Structures are given as C-alpha cells and as structure tokens.
Amino acid sequence: MRRATFLWSILAMSVVIGLFVVKYRVQNLEDRLSALNAKIITDRDEIQVMQAEWSYLNQPARLEALSKRLLGMDTPVSAQTISMQELLENTALEPSDTGALTEITEIKQLNAKPGIEWAPAKKVVPVRAPTAPGGGDWLKPILAKLKKNQ
C-alpha cells in the first residue's frame, strides 16, 4: 500500500514536472516564433524598399547616361548587327584555321537544331580592328563587308 502510494506520487510528480518543462519550452518556442514573425515582416519591408531602390537605380534615363559616360555605348545602328546566317555565308575559311572551323561547324549544328533560336539582333558585334594576328584572320571578310555596307 505504502509502496503503491509512493509510486503514484512519483508518477504524479514527474508528470507535473514534465508538464512544466513542456509548457516553458512551448512558451519559448512561441516567443521565438513571434520574434521570427516580426523579423520576417521587417525583412519583407526591407526587401520591398530594396526592390524599389533597385528599380529607381535602374531608371532607363540613368542607365543610358551612365552607359554613355562610363562605357562609351551609344544607340546601335543596323550595320552593327549581323545575322548568324550572314556570318557563316561570308566567312572564308582557311584550311589551317581549324579552330575557327570547328567552332563554326558547332554553331552550324546548333543552328540546325530546331528550338535553338539565334537572336543576333540583340548581339552587337563590335567593330574593332583584330588585335591578335592569325587569330583574327577569319574576321577580315566580315569586317570588309561591314565597311562596304556602311
């Protein structure tokens, strides 16, 4: 009888202690949750502000002025763009120039694949004098053509 009472009281005590522990843990978790919630809300506000700032800094007028001033960019003219087709047609290949050859055949294969669309209108081929002798050889006919067109 006495042992049973003892056992029961031990059980009751441990349940009570367990309950308290769990209760405080839950409260802690809830506190953390509300802190996190508050943080999420302030973070969202901050993200929103940064998005607005990003958009503000990307105003087309500002970008235009900056790219003109710092990068020397200007409105592209049609002579600056060339389609991949024209590039391939007008490239006279020298037998030694195998590097360019493989590159171009790769491009040709890519071009043949449906679904891969080349958008050369967006790609501006800068008109520059070829710097490296030999390596820039295959560009010569294209440049000549561009000059003629201009």
Q: How far is the CB of 109 from another protein (least distance, A)?
A: 22
Q: Are 148 and 142 in contact (CB under 8 A)?
A: no
Using CB under 8 A as the binding rule, whether residue 88 contacts another protein is answered as: no
Q: How far is the CB of 104 from another protein (least distance, A)?
A: 20
Using CB under 8 A as the binding rule, whether residue 136 contacts another protein is answered as: no
- How far, in Å, CA of 107 to CA of 118, rounded? 10
- How far, in Å, CA of 130 to CA of 27, rounded? 71
Q: Are 84 and 48 in contact (CB under 8 A)?
A: no
Binding interface with another protein (CB under 8 A): 1, 27, 30-31, 33-34, 36-37, 40-41, 44-45, 48-49, 51-56, 58-61, 64, 75-79, 81, 83, 119-122, 124, 149
